[in-house]
Amino acid sequence: MTPAGAISLGDIGFRYGRETRNTLSISELHIKAGQRVALIGASGAGKSTLLKLIDGRLRGWSGSCRVLGQRLDPQRQPPRSWRRKVGFVFQEFALVQRETVRRNVLHGRLGHVEPVLSLLGRFTDKDDHAVDRAMCDVHMDAFADKRVDRLSGGQRQRVAIARCLAQTPRLILADEPISSLDPMTAQSILTILRDRASARNATLILSSHQPALVADYVDRFIALDAGRIVFDGPPDQLHEHRLSGIYRNAAATQHERPHEFA
């Protein structure tokens, strides 16, 4: 992988449990630092599994995976120093509902403080500054003292993004970040992800089953079908007939494999 590379995969293979076919079968994939990439494809195509691999949470895969200069081990958790460089935005937010916005965003700083201090919830002025900046970046600073369970879905996703940004990550991964949002709110979330990643010189990889909606916010589509890359290029080169074919093939495969993972 070149110094400008963020991600380099080779000969990746993975399957869940008793599955007879691989959930991921990727011969080669390289993503440059600073790129904005959307993983697209139907449910079961392997998008979420690929994100878990890149995030260092997937176990039992084969092949070679290097992320931000770290060679990942299929059997071991990555080092803590590497983990804080990778931020993850979950589909279901993964927030502590009874805590305030600020406390949730502070959780993004846990990887930057000593383990003992993190258990005690003690943070530095640098941590506070990072949290303040992250809340401002997603326009949630006015809600800092409000409990998360009193926010709308769009506001909760902003908090989840702020928690990710508070890590000051070099790589931002987002798993279906707009799936439960209305179109207007989804566009605002996509704008935040794109603009904040660019402002922080971070690589952005998001998954979505809504290619038409995300096309204006990324510079590269990677389409998956049954764990294989079937398209890799600019969004404007993925023509409608080809996109329809990808989803038709996925629907046929899903009929054969009803227990496939996303």
Percentage above 90 pLDDT, the chain: 76
Six-digit token string for 30 = 């390289």
Kindly tell me if the per-residue pLDDT of 1 is higher than 50. no
Looking up tokens 């989803």 gives 247
Kindly tell me if the per-residue pLDDT of 260 is higher than 50. no
Kindly tell me if the per-residue pLDDT of 220 is higher than 90. yes
Enumerate residues 6+ apart whose C-beta is below 8 A from 150: none
pLDDT of residue 251: 55
In this structure, CATH architecture of domain 1-85+170-262: 3-Layer(aba) Sandwich (3.40)
pLDDT tens per residue across span 146-192 = 999 999 999 999 999 999 999 999 999 999 999 889 999 999 999 99
Apex 211 CA angle, 207 and 217, nearest 5: 75
Domain ranges of the chain: 1-85+170-262, 97-168
- In this structure, are residues 36 and 172 in contact, taking their beta carbons and an 8 Å threshold? no
pLDDT tens per residue across span 60-117 = 999 999 999 999 999 999 998 999 999 999 988 899 999 999 999 999 998 887 766 6
